[in-house]
A = this chain, B = another copy of it.
Amino acid sequence: MYEFFRQYLNEITSSIISDAEFQHIEEAFAIKSMKKRQFLLHEGSVCKYMAFIVKGAMRHYSIDEKGNEHIVRFGVEGWWMSDRESLRMQTPSKYNIDALEDCDLLVATNEQLNRVKELSPLFFRMAHLLDERHSIANQNRVHASICYSSDEKLLDLMKNYPDFLQRFPQNMLASYLGISPETFSRVRKQINAK
């Protein structure tokens, strides 16, 4: 359970973490299992955890007045899930996070996170790298979102996250891209025809 996490830390920081240092990290993160459709965060409440996904898949989304879901982000094995804004500022979130499959998570509260960052320089570095990547990924997403037409968005998705197409229902992928499920279906058909 923690082994995967340890590998992840080594990889992302290009280092080998010592037993002593990993000890601190292990203590800060609790194991949490979630069944499909269970919620990690409900709109209106403060985000409790920063969650590392060991197994399973989740989504981070909002629901508008008309009841439509808008998926901001997916998460799979080796990804983090949290509403950083809510977690950091301890403010009510406008988002939901729930499990799309049964999940195994490692979770830490905001205080625990801060403590590990102090105790483990490697973890601190990881957090920094993570923010950076997140920032870059989001910028690319913004770029795709303002530049691309529906079919380009789908092609972009197919290129960047080909596994998502197998793994998640199309209506969710459509929501992620900001297009309707019907458009997704039609564009997809058109692309496959080539």
Contacts and interface: CB of A to CB of B under 8 A. Distances in A.
A141 B142 CA distance: 7
A72 B38 CA distance: 35
A91 B55 CA distance: 33
A178 interface: yes
A90 interface: no
Interface stretch (A5-13, A29-37, A99-107, A127-135): A127-135
A143 B72 contact: yes
A46 B193 CA distance: 38
A contact patch SS? helix
B135 A84 contact: yes
Nearest to A152: B64
Interface in A23-73: 62, 64, 70, 72-73
Given A84-B139, A142-B145, 19 more contacts: A62-B147, A64-B147, A70-B143, A70-B146, A70-B147, A72-B139, A85-B140, A127-B128, A131-B134, A135-B135, A135-B138, A138-B138, A138-B142, A142-B142, A145-B146, A145-B178, A146-B177, A146-B178, A147-B178
